[in-house]
Amino acid sequence: MAKLIHSMIRVRDESRSVAFYKAAFGLEIAERIDFDAFTLIYLKNGESDFELELTINKDQSAPYDLGNGYGHLAVSVEVLEGEHARLAEIGLAPKDIKALATPDGHTARFFFIEDPDGYKIEVLERSWRFR
Q: Which residues are catalytic?
A: 122
The CA angle 110-111-112, to the nearest 5 degrees, is 135
41 φ/ψ angles, rounded to the nearest 5 degrees: -125, 125
Q: Give the bridge partners for 32, in sequence order.
A: 41
Q: How far apart are CA 5 and CA 108, in angstroms?
A: 24
Question: How many CA atoms, within 13 angstroms, populate the side-chain half-sphere of residue 52?
Answer: 26
The answer to whether 27 and 43 have CB atoms below 8 angstroms apart is: yes
Q: Which of 21, 6, 15, 5 is nearest to 119 (CA)?
A: 21
